[in-house]
Amino acid sequence: MGIEVRVEGLTKSFGGQPVWADVSLTLPAGEISVLLGPSGTGKSVFLKTLVGLLRPDRGSIWIDDEDLPALGERRLYEVRKLFGVLFQDGALFGSMNLYDNVAFPLREHTRLRETRIREIVMAKLEMVGLLGAERKLPGQISGGMRKRAGLARALVLDPKIILFDEPDSGLDPVRTAYLNQLIIDLNQQTDATFLIVTHDINTARTVPDNIGLLYHGHLAMFGPREMLLSSTEPVVRQFLGATRVGPIGMAEEKDATEREAESAAGVRLPPLPPIPVQLQPSNGQPRRAERAPGSWCAEHDVVPPVGSFSEVLV
């Protein structure tokens, strides 16, 4: 079962320059959440802070009644085992084959015998459709396969929370669609809490239970998928609509002159597109039957077995 993650007033800066401030949200246990935002808004920094690789300037990250930023190094090391992370490029060791890459966390953090390690590694490789490729090196396989190998390694310690840093980066739309279905199926199998950082609008519209948007140094909105997809908030509508009309510009936020020119010209945000059908597990079973209520946080509003992908996701 996944674990609820509660973030309260989280603030981070580098060299006195703020990245984002006073971020508060709750990732409901076992659900899939997506974090969006223009480039340079600190989404990857947020993930690294969430897992304890970076210390925030202030704020709390509550996991099972423990506040991560307040933990000492030894306890933080133990709590990090609750997390699995899929980095953008898979972060595989180039000199190790896929089997050894996936086995690495088990050899590093457990005292399991090699026979048991093999059972676990092969099971995780099967989950992501990589049986038969375990002896290949990362340089011998495609980007999509590297993503799946990284995902198998993220799953190998049976984490309660899994973080995805732009899993669709470098993938074409077809492979992204297959990866999205794999994420849905894995969430059903593991019941872990998922957080995905992505720029892919189709992923954001069809995969998650909850969506958040980082913009201009703060969390503009976070809440259930339907709330964000029907939002009248200009920055949310512009980003999800992938349009030039709205407050976001090339340098993140348009200056007053640009916005006044749009207003004077009578330019308006286009109407909201229909809310698409949410992706369902490929085995025909529904997504989690019982959901804990999510927390809605915004600047303006506060409201409370996987099939084989080895032949297609390459």
Q: How many angstroms separate the CA atoms of 194 and 4, rounded?
A: 10
Query: pLDDT tens digits for the chain (314 residues)?
Result: 789 999 999 999 998 889 999 999 999 999 999 999 887 888 999 999 999 999 999 999 999 899 999 999 999 999 999 999 998 766 789 899 999 999 999 999 899 999 999 999 999 999 999 999 999 999 999 888 898 999 999 999 999 999 999 998 888 888 889 899 999 999 999 999 999 999 888 899 999 999 999 988 899 899 999 998 988 888 888 888 777 776 776 555 555 565 555 555 556 666 777 888 889 998 888 876 444 444 434 333 333 333 333 333 44
The pLDDT score that the predictor gives to residue 256 is 54
**Residue-range definition of the domain harbouring residue 204:** 5-230+275-303
Domains contained in the chain, number: 1
252 occurs within a structural domain: no
| C-alpha distances in Å from residue 172, one per residue of 79, 176, 179 | 35, 6, 11
144 occurs within a structural domain: yes
Instruction: Note whether 214 and 36 are within 8 A (CB).
Output: yes
65 occurs within a structural domain: yes
DSSP string of 35-86, one letter each residue: EE--TTS-HHHHHHHHTTSS--SEEEEEETTEEGGGS-HHHHHHHGGGEEEE
Extract the runs of DSSP E, i.e. beta strands, from the chain.
5-14, 17-27, 32-36, 58-63, 66-67, 83-86, 161-165, 193-197, 210-215, 218-224, 248-249, 252-253, 296-298, 302-303
Q: Read off the pTM.
A: 0.84
216 occurs within a structural domain: yes
Q: How many angstroms separate the CA atoms of 256 and 177, rounded?
A: 38
279 occurs within a structural domain: yes
The pLDDT score that the predictor gives to residue 258 is 58
148 occurs within a structural domain: yes
- CATH number of the domain that residue 155 is part of: 3.40.50.300
Q: How many angstroms separate the CA atoms of 190 and 148, rounded?
A: 16
| C-alpha distances in Å from residue 313, one per residue of 86, 121, 173 | 16, 19, 11
